[in-house]
Amino acid sequence: STNGSTWTEAGTNSLWAGLDRHASVVYDGKMWTLGGDNGASIFKRAYYSTDGITWTQAGSEAMLETVYLLSALVYDGKMWAIGGNTGGNGTAKISYSTNGSTWTEAGSNSLPLANTSHTSLVYDGRMWMIGGYYGASGVYYSLPAIQGGLVVQNQSGTERFRITAAGNV
C-alpha cells in the first residue's frame, strides 16, 4: 500500500503456505523472513525477496537453530535474530548475518534470560528487546559487548508477549 487504505496482494507463493511465527526485516535492499514454523516443523531458514513475489532461500538451513516466535532487526550493518522458541523452550541466543546464509552467534547465551514472543527495535543507537514469555517481560537493551542489560523490569509479574514496537536509529 502507498496510502494505507488500499492494499494489493503481491502474489501467492508456496513459501507462505502455512508459514507462521517468523520474523521479518528489510536489509540490503531485500525483504527477509527468518525462522518460523508450519505447525508440523520448525525452520532455520532465511528467505529474501526484492519484489515480494519471488522468494529465494539463502543457503540450506542457514540459521544456527530451528526457531520461531523470534524477533529480528537491522543494526550495525547486520541482520540480527533475537531469542525465540526452539520447540518447547525459549532461547537466549542472539545471532547475526550480513548475507542471510551464514549466521554467527553473538556470544554464548547473549540474552539475560531465554525469551520468546517478544519484540525488538533499534532506538538511540542500541538494540532493544521488549516483553516476552518465560519470565523475560521487562525491557532490555544491548551493551557494547552485545550483552543484555536490564533497564526496566515489569513490576506486575505479568508476562507481556506477542506485542510489537517500531523504532529507528
77 vs 153, more confident: 77
Q: State yes or no: pLDDT of 109 exceeds 70.
A: no
Q: What is the pLDDT of residue 22?
A: 86
pLDDT confidence of residue 25: 92
Beta strands in the chain (DSSP E): 23-27, 30-34, 46-49, 56-57, 71-75, 78-82, 94-97, 104-105, 119-123, 126-130, 139-142, 148-152
Q: Is the pLDDT of residue 90 over 90?
A: no
- pLDDT digits 0-9 by tens, 151-161: 444 444 555 54
Percent of the chain with pLDDT over 70: 74
**pLDDT reported for residue 32:** 93
pLDDT tens digits for range 7-51: 877 777 666 667 788 888 999 999 998 988 887 887 888 889 998
Strands across the sheet with 78-82, in order? 71-75, 78-82, 94-97, 104-105
Q: What is the mean pLDDT of the chain?
A: 76
Residues in CB range of 80: below 8 A, 6 or more apart: 72, 73, 74, 94, 95, 96, 106, 120, 127
Give the pLDDT of residue 150.
40
Stated pTM of the model = 0.80
pLDDT of residue 27: 96
